[in-house]
């Protein structure tokens, strides 16, 4: 508060204090929420990462034991990290390509536009659990309609959610089905591209690809960047679909009592968030769960900082100067 | 008063939040000084969800309430172990007094943490001699390091179900008794269609098939997973390698892992009418005693019988053994009415008449010595097989562990790799398995 | 659709000036070639569109068809129901707990939305309009919170709710925090508030309104589309949430929501794909219905997330 050294006149100071109080009042819900539901648990996560705590007996300080266990001994750490990164790269990339494709398609459709837009958009609205249950049924290798049709056509059908090699691609397919959000964003961005630029390019004799490359792409890059950032953030939290798909596809009667290990088949759908749940709420290995949480935190922060540097448009220009 | 700067405010807020950190201990509010003859309401949680089973347990509770008119029992079903674990840790008014679990895996954790109350004092108070009431194996899987924090509430035994029609057609006179007999029978029973794909396999040995968890088949070797110090000793035990070799031989004899896995993918849901044994896609399989009830309900279109699982060739004298497990019941540490809760646990687990009636109703193996001998038990021979397995002195349950049987999960994952041929050096793999199990156990201990 | 005539086509194709005037000419010359090319283009685009539509719509169709099949047929892999058992839906509704799941979902989504919007408005307004020291830091912290996977802080948070407040087994640990500013909603709303011209606010100030009155009387009414979008997003977030209820409500079946219950429904009815599919459609239905009523707010909202940034 360098400015206060000049001792402003009392009236100004009173006004300034009132303004501060007013700002604090308006911000108070968030200030409380941020401290209690974000900062506190984050500190506590660090605290517990050095504790042995089974949520019954008192926490016990164990130094770096949890860290050593998670990073060097826990067999599921590697697969979970790999799956999460795989999904972040493949799922986000394909969603952007597919979303852009569908967005382009929608702008080109001239008949029954309402029908097509609604049809493309609706799956996005399906609650993730419901959509996953539906896909597990559709792609059931034994009794599902998709393999029934493929079989009738003589096309060799994969086992989808039951094949460790196909389980993640099946999840990607499920995410492409719900492309509606990206479709709308891209569609809006594509319609915002000034028409004159296309016409000018046409006059220059540009083909479809060159038009896309030199007119469309530059003007939609910020939106694509935005989609990348939000896509990466969402995919790092990827939980529900992978968990439900693995659980249902395993077909093991999940009778009460049997604790379902996430990641079926062969840990191929195990993501870091699922492992956090499994460690914290199934094994009550609080320390290890908190270590893994912090690993996820560091990766998430690193990735978002990196992407935000690239002007993802999250912090609008006028904010950069504040 | 001037409003402090944002940063100061935040740091104050953070410091305040930090104060909450260590305060996570919760005092045990439980009490064993209540008078079980006073009017009281107990909460009883169980895991049964199937309509018939729910009715059976509710009838049992009704019989208890008749005997103890001062006690009202509020029954909540379909509760998983995950939930029991979480709720007992959280405590609160809704927490149960009497708890049960479908698996014995968590008993070690329940006993060592004190989450389930030690039952020995209650048995002493009410004159129950556990050695006289329960078979030894059952007492083992309900206690951990000397603390008897649970008692068996009916048991499960694993045996062999076989398709009699298929046996007749293949010219096999009786169910196999040794592992090599099993392999030969399996080959004879396997049938293929014109294009070479399976129509039926003799047995589906792959560990992911329905109830085929590796620990259950391994029980036929009677393994000791740990040495006296509690260290995993699967690598040095020759039985481990014999077990894996036997399973792989079964796979090879019937066409290989990949082909069997492809066939397995076409099987219907285990609990449905599309169960592979019911649709005659497998001629033999390992399963628990409860399956018989389902086969009858679904009116299987073929004759079927039950037998103990075969044993290793060099241990033919142990034929009749099988893997044992069961539902267990206990008292929550947080219960304020532990004496009344004990009355319910005692009724459900010790009372011969109750144990027999409940066993007959849900087609499980009774878990007391008296009930196992009761003439009132279902006389169906396909069910009797499992009573004999339960009584067999060689039958074993998996040893309890402090972390919810995580070593079984680790063994299972390892076994998946072995059967898929992903473990070229089994000895090295087993040493790694032991090291992993030890590391996991260490991580769970203080 | 492929039977559309050339003149229909021309009338639906913008940026084709003069096409109609020349349609009378014989199929020769550059105009005809251009027309043929446009026709081929139309066919190509719509063929792709139909294929894509099949990909998006067929799953719904299969789910619907399976939901009315008999128990046995639902497991047969057949596509067309032999008999239309609409009573399956009644069976689902009669499942113990199903109506409670509805009630809980509505409670969670309804209260959650109300709290979120209520608490986000002043915060977003302050971040959009007030100049104060630490504004940029606050904005970065809001975005950081938004980016953070909820799993990072879930364990200690659960311990507080469960062991100190004894509120696990209910939806309150999910609803209460929403009264304290949800980062995503604050961010969205702020982006929207930035688009309201400053003059209106200045005018209100000239009329002697304090900040609070300006906010309530001028800004909130003008921000209605933004508020609607934020409310819708939050409603669907809560409705779809699985992780939250799994952590806090799982312990008590009386607190289960539809999203959580559906998965357990499949577990309990592992053999009844028909009932599971009926339940699945019943979980999807409210979202779709709300969509048709609030289509505009929806699409605006989705665009808001991306374009206005």
Q: Where does A77-252+259-315 sit in CATH, by number? A: 1.10.3720.10
Place of tokens 């979480």: B86
Residue B13 lies in a domain: no
| Alpha carbon of A171: minimum distance to chain B alpha carbons (Å) | 19
C163/B89 CB distance under 8 A: yes
Verify that B334 and B438 share a domain, yes or no.
no
Q: Is the pLDDT of residue B311 over 80?
A: yes
**What confidence category does residue B371 fall into, taking pLDDT thresholds of 50, 70 and 90?**
very high
- Kindly report the number of other CB atoms within 10 A of residue B414's CB atom: 22
**What confidence category does residue B435 fall into, taking pLDDT thresholds of 50, 70 and 90?**
very high
Alpha carbon distance B363, B379 (integer Å): 11
What's the pLDDT at B172? 95
Verify that B181 and B119 share a domain, yes or no.
no
**Number of domains into which chain B is organized:** 2
Using a CB-CB cut-off of 8 Å, the residues of chain C touching B270 are 270
Residue B31 lies in a domain: no
Residue B363 lies in a domain: yes
| Alpha carbon of C71: minimum distance to chain A alpha carbons (Å) | 13
Query: Mean pLDDT of all residues in chain B?
Result: 89
Tell me the per-residue pLDDT of B345-361, one tens digit each, with 9 for 90 and over: 999 999 999 999 999 99
B446/A57 CB distance under 8 A: yes
What's the pLDDT at B90? 84
Q: What is the mean pLDDT of residues A147-151?
A: 88
Secondary element (H or E) of residue C227: helix C224-240
* Domain coordinates in residue numbering, chain A: 9-66, 77-252+259-315
Residue B142 lies in a domain: yes
- Number of helices (H) and strands (E) in chain B: give both, helices first: 19, 9
State the ipTM, two decimals.
0.88
Q: What is the mean pLDDT of residues A129-144?
A: 89
Residue B6 lies in a domain: no
Verify that B171 and B63 share a domain, yes or no.
no
Using a CB-CB cut-off of 8 Å, the residues of chain B touching A265 are 208
CATH number at residue B284: 3.40.190.10
What's the pLDDT at C27? 57
DSSP labels for B307-335?
Answer: EPPPB-GGGGGGTT--BEEEEEEEEBTT-
Verify that B112 and B177 share a domain, yes or no.
no
Mean pLDDT for each consecutive 10-residue tract of chain C (309 residues)?
34 39 56 88 91 94 92 81 90 88 94 95 92 88 88 93 89 95 89 83 80 84 86 90 93 90 75 86 87 75 55
Verify that B356 and B386 share a domain, yes or no.
yes
- Which of A123, A106, A110, A112 has its CA nearest to residue A189? A106
Alpha carbon distance B100, B329 (integer Å): 4
Verify that B162 and B152 share a domain, yes or no.
no
Q: Is the pLDDT of residue A309 over 80?
A: no
Question: Which residue range forms the structural domain that includes residue B166?
Answer: 158-322+400-444
Using a CB-CB cut-off of 8 Å, the residues of chain C touching B82 are 250
Place of tokens 């007749």: B168
Q: Is the pLDDT of residue B4 over 60?
A: no
What's the pLDDT at B126? 94
**What confidence category does residue A255 fall into, taking pLDDT thresholds of 50, 70 and 90?**
very low
What's the pLDDT at B104? 87
What DSSP designation does B396 have?
B
Phi and psi torsions of B324, nearest 5°: -115, 145
Alpha carbon distance B433, B430 (integer Å): 5
What's the pLDDT at C287? 84
Tell me the per-residue pLDDT of B95-137, one tens digit each, with 9 for 90 and over: 899 999 988 888 988 898 889 999 999 999 999 999 999 999 9
Verify that B307 and B264 share a domain, yes or no.
yes
Q: Which of the other chains make 3 or more beta carbon contacts under 8 angstroms with chain A?
A: B, C
What's the pLDDT at C268? 67
Tell me the per-residue pLDDT of B274-283, one tens digit each, with 9 for 90 and over: 899 999 999 9
What DSSP designation does B35 have?
-
Verify that B183 and B266 share a domain, yes or no.
yes
> Where exactly does CATH 1.10.3720.10 map onto chain C?
95-306
| Alpha carbon of A280: minimum distance to chain C alpha carbons (Å) | 6
Using a CB-CB cut-off of 8 Å, the residues of chain A touching C169 are none
Verify that B174 and B151 share a domain, yes or no.
no
CATH architecture type of domain C95-306: Orthogonal Bundle (1.10)
- Which of B382, B383, B386, B389 has its CA nearest to residue B320? B389
Alpha carbon distance C45, C39 (integer Å): 10
Tell me the per-residue pLDDT of B8-59, one tens digit each, with 9 for 90 and over: 444 444 444 444 444 444 445 678 888 888 999 999 999 887 788 899 999 9
Q: Is the pLDDT of residue A225 over 80?
A: yes
Verify that B168 and B306 share a domain, yes or no.
yes
Q: Is the pLDDT of residue B2 over 80?
A: no
What's the pLDDT at C304? 64
Residue B8 lies in a domain: no
Tell me the per-residue pLDDT of A156-211, one tens digit each, with 9 for 90 and over: 888 899 888 999 999 999 999 999 989 988 988 898 888 888 888 888 888 888 88
């Amino acid at each position: 508060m360098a400015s206060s050294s000049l001792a402003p006149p009392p009236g100004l100071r009173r006004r300034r204090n009132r303004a501060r109080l007013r700002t604090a009042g308006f911000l108070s819900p968030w200030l409380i929420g941020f401290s209690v539901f974000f900062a506190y648990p984050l500190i506590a996560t660090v605290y517990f990462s050095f504790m042995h705590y089974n949520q019954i007996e008192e926490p016990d300080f164990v130094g770096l034991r949890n860290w050593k266990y998670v990073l060097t001994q826990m067999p599921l750490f590697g697969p979970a990290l790999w799956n999460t990164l795989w999904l972040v790269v493949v799922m986000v990339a394909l969603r952007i390509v597919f979303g852009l494709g569908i967005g382009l398609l929608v702008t080109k459709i001239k008949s029954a536009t309402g029908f097509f837009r609604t049809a493309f958009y609706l799956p996005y609205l399906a609650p993730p659990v419901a959509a996953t249950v539906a896909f597990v049924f559709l792609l059931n290798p034994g009794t599902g309609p998709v393999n029934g049709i493929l079989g009738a056509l003589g096309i060799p059908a994969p086992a989808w959610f039951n094949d460790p090699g196909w389980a993640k691609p099946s999840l990607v397919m499920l995410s492409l089905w719900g492309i509606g959000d990206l479709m709308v964003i891209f569609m809006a961005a594509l319609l915002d591209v000034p028409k004159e630029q296309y016409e000018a390019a046409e006059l220059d004799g540009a083909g479809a690809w060159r038009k896309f490359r030199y007119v469309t792409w530059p003007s939609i890059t910020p939106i694509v960047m935005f989609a990348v950032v939000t896509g990466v953030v969402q995919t790092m939290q990827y939980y529900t679909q992978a968990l439900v798909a693995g659980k249902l596809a395993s077909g093991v009667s999940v009778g009460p009592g049997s604790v379902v290990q996430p990641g079926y088949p062969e840990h191929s759908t195990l993501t870091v968030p699922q492992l956090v749940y499994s460690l914290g709420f199934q094994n009550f290995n609080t320390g290890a769960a908190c270590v893994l949480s912090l690993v996820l935190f560091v990766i998430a922060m690193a990735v978002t900082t990196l992407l935000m540097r690239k002007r993802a448009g999250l912090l609008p220009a006028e904010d950069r100067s504040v | 008063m001037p409003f402090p700067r944002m940063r100061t405010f935040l740091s104050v807020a953070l410091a305040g939040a930090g104060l909450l950190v260590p305060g996570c201990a919760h005092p045990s509010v439980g009490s064993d000084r209540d008078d079980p003859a006073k009017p009281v309401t107990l909460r009883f949680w169980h895991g049964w969800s199937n309509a018939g089973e729910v009715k059976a347990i509710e009838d049992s509770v009704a019989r208890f309430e008749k005997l103890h008119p001062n006690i009202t029992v509020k029954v909540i079903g379909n509760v998983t172990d995950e939930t029991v674990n979480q709720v007992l840790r959280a405590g609160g008014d809704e927490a149960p007094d009497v708890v049960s679990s479908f698996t014995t895996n968590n008993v070690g954790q329940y006993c060592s943490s004190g989450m389930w109350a030690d039952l020995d004092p209650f048995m002493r108070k009410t004159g129950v001699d556990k050695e006289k009431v329960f078979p030894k194996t059952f007492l083992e899987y309900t206690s951990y390091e000397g603390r008897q924090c649970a008692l068996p509430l009916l048991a499960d035994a694993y045996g062999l179900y076989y398709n009699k029609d298929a046996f007749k057609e293949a010219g096999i006179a009786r169910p196999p008794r040794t592992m090599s007999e099993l392999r030969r029978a399996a080959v004879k029973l396997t049938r293929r269609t014109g294009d070479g794909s399976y129509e039926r396999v003799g047995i589906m040995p792959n560990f992911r098939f329905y109830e085929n968890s590796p620990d259950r088949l391994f029980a036929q070797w009677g393994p000791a997973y740990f040495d006296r110090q509690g260290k995993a000793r699967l690598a040095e035990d020759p039985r481990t390698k014999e077990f894996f070799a036997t399973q792989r031989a079964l796979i090879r004899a019937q066409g290989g892992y990949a082909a069997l896995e492809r066939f397995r993918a076409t099987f219907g849901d285990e609990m449905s009418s599309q169960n592979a044994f019911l649709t005659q896609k497998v001629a033999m399989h390992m399963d628990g005693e409860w399956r018989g009830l389902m086969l009858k309900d679904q009116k299987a279109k073929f004759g079927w019988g039950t037998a103990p699982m075969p044993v290793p060739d060099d241990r033919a004298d142990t034929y009749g053994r099988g893997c044992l497990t069961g539902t267990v019941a206990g008292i929550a540490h947080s219960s304020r009415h532990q004496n009344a809760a004990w009355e319910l646990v005692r009724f459900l687990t010790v009372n011969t008449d109750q144990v027999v009636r409940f066993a007959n109703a849900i087609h499980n193996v009774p878990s007391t010595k008296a009930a196992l001998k009761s003439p009132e038990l279902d006389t169906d021979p396909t069910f009797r097989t499992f009573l004999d397995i339960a009584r067999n002195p060689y039958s074993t349950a998996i040893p309890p562990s402090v972390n919810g049987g995580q070593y079984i999960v680790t063994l299972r994952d390892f076994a998946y790799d072995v059967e898929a041929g992903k473990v070229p050096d089994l000895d090295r793999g087993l040493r790694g398995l032991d090291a992993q199990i030890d590391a996991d156990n260490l991580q769970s201990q203080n | 659709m492929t039977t559309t005539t050339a003149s229909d086509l021309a009338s639906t194709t913008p940026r084709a000036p003069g096409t109609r005037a020349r349609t009378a000419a014989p199929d020769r010359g550059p105009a005809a070639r251009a027309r043929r090319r446009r026709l081929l283009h139309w066919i190509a685009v719509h063929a792709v569109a139909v294929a894509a539509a099949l990909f998006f719509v067929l799953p719904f169709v299969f789910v619907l068809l399976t939901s009315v099949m008999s128990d046995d047929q639902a497991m047969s892999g057949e596509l067309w129901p032999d008999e239309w058992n609409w009573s399956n839906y009644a069976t689902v509704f009669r499942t113990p707990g199903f109506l409670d799941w509805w009630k809980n979902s509505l409670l969670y989504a309804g209260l959650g939305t109300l709290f979120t919007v209520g608490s986000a408005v002043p915060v977003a307004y302050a971040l959009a309009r007030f100049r104060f020291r630490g504004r940029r830091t606050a904005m970065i912290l809001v975005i950081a919170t938004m980016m953070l996977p909820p799993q990072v802080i879930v364990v200690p948070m659960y311990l507080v709710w469960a062991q100190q407040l004894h509120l696990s087994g209910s939806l309150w640990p999910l609803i209460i925090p929403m009264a304290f500013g949800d980062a995503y909603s604050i961010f969205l709303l702020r982006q929207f508030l930035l688009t309201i011209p400053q003059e209106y606010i200045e005018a209100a100030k000239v009329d002697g309104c304090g900040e609070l009155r300006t906010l309530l009387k001028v800004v909130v009414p003008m921000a209605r589309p933004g508020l609607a979008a934020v409310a819708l997003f939050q409603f669907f977030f809560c409705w779809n949430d699985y992780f939250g209820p799994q952590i806090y409500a799982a312990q008590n079946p009386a607190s289960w929501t539809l999203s959580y219950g559906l998965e357990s429904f499949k577990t309990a009815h592992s053999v009844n794909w028909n009932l599971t599919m009926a339940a699945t459609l019943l979980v999807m239905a409210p979202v779709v219905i709300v969509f048709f009523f609030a289509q505009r707010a929806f699409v605006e909202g989705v665009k808001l997330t991306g374009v206005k940034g």
